[in-house]
Amino acid sequence: MCGILAVLGCVDNSQAKRSRIVELSRRLRHRGPDWSGLHCHEDCYLAHQRLAIVDPTSGDQPLYNEDKTVIVTVNGEIYNHKQLKQKLSSHQFRTGSDCEVMAHLYEEHGEDFIDMLDGMFSFVLLDTRDKSFIAARDAIGITPLYMGWGLDGSIWFASEMKALSDDCERFISFPPGHIYSSKEGGLRRWYNPPWFSEQIPSTPYDPIILRETFEKAVVKRLLDSSLVAAVANRHLAESAIAQHWGSQLHTFCIGLKGSPDLKAAKEVADYLGTRHHELHFTVQVNISHHFSFPFFCLNMRLLVLPRSSFFKFLLYQEGIDALEEVIYHIETYDVTTVRASTPMFLMSRKIKSLGVKMVLSGEGSDEIFGGYLYFHKAPNKEELHEETCRKIKALHLYDCLRANKSTSAWGMEARVPFLDKDFINTAMSIDPEWKMIKPDLGRIEKWVLRNAFDDEKNPYLPMHILYRQKEQFSDGVGYSWIDGLKEHANKQVTDGMLMHANYIYPENTPTTKEAYHYRTIFEKFFPKNAARSTVPGGPSVACSTAKAVEWDAAWSKNLDPSGRAALGVHEAAYEDAVDTKIAEPEN
């Protein structure tokens, strides 16, 4: 991932202002440590911090059209850039960058070119011919983008909040699938897929089509995790990447010995024949209480491109001590996100130390297929489908934010094949009756996806891994990780502090000591009202939306984002939970 900062319409265009823009852009250097660029045009500034993956020798940004009247600064990857270039034969390209195509597409199609892009991106484009500009974010919000307004009338855009929060009076998280046009003076949605209206689809389930669409998405990005590894392993040798990095897939897992995902990760790695790197870390709660916490992204949620050397190492990290740095980077106080980001942050640092720049990750599968354990209680297919739509629409505030910022903190890029536009359209067009969890029929969570890769003749994964019960990201690292975080928070936050939380934090008031602790850290770095408003709130159980909490009366008494809060569903549900009989899922 790269980092972008754009400031347009400044009253002050002095050298001091330029220096300030450079200073703020440096706050994003962790996202792009390879090079820095800045273009100034009158009262407009476009800055860039580059992570060089495609065309590392000549693809520095900002990028331009032929006569440099169109300037663009981009964070992201455009997977279909070669196909798009073929349609622009009359244009001259200065670099081999996948993002340069944007400047030329704009010349040909104006503001309507965005839907032609297949990839993940956030960008700002300036047309110096009429001093107009546009900013846009990818369909799901895989890449982060914030928009702010200065007191001088300037408009700001940045990959992370820390680059604009000090200089903007108000700022927001730029909505995914939207474009801001200075000509129109506002935001409009450019991404309008069939599923967005939440109407119930009726397309019959075809496992072959689902499998082939996903394989195309993985190959396109070459790298849920286990399936990503399996598909990548089959296609890696024939990919262009293998020419530069070798043809053996490397996999990474971080966690505590004995954690739910650690063992499964090793099994998958052995089965696929990958070079597997296992990291262990600990969390020091206090002198007398020592906890170890496993972390691994559900069945190898992080899969790393090939490297030439193999290391088996043991990493001891103090997870609690990393909390402040994690919250600074991920820019949220959401409990689930902090829980899951901390080990992902630690693993990313170790992976980057091996020279890796790009990883492939499994975000989105649970949202698309109803994979979270609370979906066991979906009362009917209509409510299940509507909940999956709500979850996908909110990904940019949760899992996409975590995956992007936890890896970008160390100058790495995470690609997410499950969030491919074509794959989402295919998966969300399936009659949701097929996604309903029906234990009596052998249909566990994400059955339609598992079944699509259940190939007896040429199996992708061992059967017991393919049909393993869902573990949430923060649970899969080991239940003691969450329990340890709660114990740590209990020592930092008194009963009196929590009792008066609504006076200290009237907006998104924390209801647990853990939430209060994260909020305190967040406010230290981002004290403005606009900052706290970028973080979502509301009740949740096992990562549900507030609406889905209504599916079971017992859940309202056990609000916790951990999968163990799905009483009557998770095999390791909280033992001290409310003793309430849970109805079986409808058949």
Pairing of strands 302-304, 178-181: unpaired
C-alpha to C-alpha distance for 451 and 447, rounded to whole angstroms: 6
Q: Measured between alpha carbons, how far is 501 from 555 in angstroms, rounded to an integer?
A: 23
d(CA 177, CA 175): 7
- The amino acid that residue 76 corresponds to is G
Say how far apart CA 280 and CA 292 lie, in whole Å: 8
What is the CA angle 182-187-193, rounded to 5? 130
Q: What is the rounded CA–CA span in Å between residue 380 and residue 390?
A: 16
- Identify residue 98 by its one-letter amino acid code: D
- CA neighbor of 272 nearest in space, from 242, 303, 295: 303
Structure tokens at 493: 């936050």
Rounded distance, CA 456 to CA 450, Å? 13
HSE, CB side, 13 Å, CA atoms: give it for residue 140.
Answer: 31
| Tokens linked to 458 | 């040429």
Q: Which are the catalytic amino acids? A: 2
Residue 311 neighbours by CB distance under 10 Å:
13
Three-state DSSP state, 442: coil
User: Residue 480 class from Cβ within 10 Å (0-12 exposed, 13-18 middle, 19+ buried)?
Assistant: middle
Whether the CB-CB separation of 34 and 63 falls below 8 Å is answered with no
Angle of helix 226-235 relative to helix 207-221, nearest 10 degrees?
A: 70
Beta bridge partners of residue 46, listed in sequence order: 6, 39
- Measured from the Cβ of residue 248, the count of other Cβ atoms closer than 10 Å reads 16
Q: Which amino acid is at 64?
A: Y
Locate 304 and state its tokens: 């790393």
Q: Are 105 and 88 in contact (CB under 8 A)?
A: yes
